[in-house]
Structure 1
């Protein structure tokens, strides 16, 4: 059973790791994409028979050495660091996905290429390619290691994807597929019982039940327009 170390990037309040201010005044922090995507990746990898260790499973900005030491001490078989890119913190037309590996790692390049290919297939975003990088998390790890940049926070269209659960799942699925290909594992599509919420949504679903937003039934069902209006009204009543 292979052990995969998952690194969910920066902390929620790490300086600079956020979008420019949007037209509605909103700012999205990189952690808001990295963390839920890492949790989705955990779910998919477990479905496919992998063991998981999180090296930064917190809102805090875990020191890089702490992350790599944890993965090394656990003797992980692969290390994946999830990020969302930025160019100059000014809205622009730059964009796309890229995946990094250590310059001296042939295996790292192989894993990066497999994951990059899947990311472009899943998302349809611009392919910025696989790149060598002397980054701490790919340099100081003793296992095959890569770092993915799943879009640009200072591209307005890609920034809008950061909180999109569907886009997060696409990225997680692509990474999982790449890892499966690397280790020669046939990828199993995720299955979900209609009467149970997804693993990543269990906390939110429980909150919705507790606060009367939903009756707790049919979490996988498509809501009608009247149900959506009802849920919005109930949520407004909590403000």
Structure 2
């Protein structure tokens, strides 16, 4: 994560951090805005990439998994020269998950269950794209997870092994 508190970080700070961490993949998750008329989901890879590149194939998988769960108009798979796509040394994807200034999208964005489903769509896409497997199939029953939500925003997540 590029931030754990509600602070502003520049695009350069975010990409510099990811490059310094030696991250394997850079996923930038956003909510869009335009003029109240645009709505839906779209995602981006850098405009220098071909549609048959490995990065485009990852984007295709991510797109499919996110669109399965987000219940938004599909605006398509796109390319752009965005800073986070250009300046990261690792493969990168930027997702735009609805438009905050569109009434229908904004209503979904207010729903914590919808946000959880969209987050799960991103996780499902990453797991499928990188062939990731769960370490334990019994993770939920062995772990206690505590979420702290203030004014509709998660501020802390803690997890610990349950004592039997």
Confirm or deny a common fold (TM above 0.5): yes
Q: Partner of 1:123 in structure 2?
A: 70
Structure 1 regions of 5+ residues with no counterpart? 1-53, 206-239
Pairing 1:1-239 to 2, within 5 Å after superposition: 54-88=1-35, 91-92=36-37, 94-105=38-49, 106-186=53-133, 192-193=140-141, 196=144, 198-199=145-146, 201=147, 203-204=148-149
Q: Considering Cα pairs closer than 8 Å and 6+ residues apart, tell me whether 1 or 2 has the greater RCO.
A: 2
Structure 2 regions of 5+ residues with no counterpart? 151-164
| 8 Å Cα contact 1:102-1:109 kept in structure 2 | no
Number of corresponding residues: 146
| 8 Å Cα contact 1:102-1:108 kept in structure 2 | no
What is the distance in 1 between the residues matched to 2:123 and 2:70? 14
| 8 Å Cα contact 1:108-1:145 kept in structure 2 | yes
Shift of 1:195: 9.6
Distance of aligned partners of 1:190 and 1:165 in 2 relative to their CA distance in 1, 3 Å threshold: farther
What's the secondary structure of 2:15's corresponding residue? helix
Distance of aligned partners of 1:189 and 1:138 in 2 relative to their CA distance in 1, 3 Å threshold: farther
Q: CA RMSD in A?
A: 2.4
What is the distance in 2 between the residues matched to 1:190 and 1:166? 23
What's the secondary structure of 1:98's corresponding residue? strand
Q: Flag the structure with higher strand content.
A: 2
TM-score (norm 1): 0.55
Shift of 1:115: 1.2
TM-score (norm 2): 0.79
| 8 Å Cα contact 1:95-1:158 kept in structure 2 | yes
Any runs of at least 4 consecutive aligned residues in structure 1 with deviations exceeding 3 A, and if so which? 186-196
Deviation sequence 1:113-164 (CA, Å, 0-9, x none):
1111111111221111110010000100011101100001121011012231
Shift of 1:58: 2.5
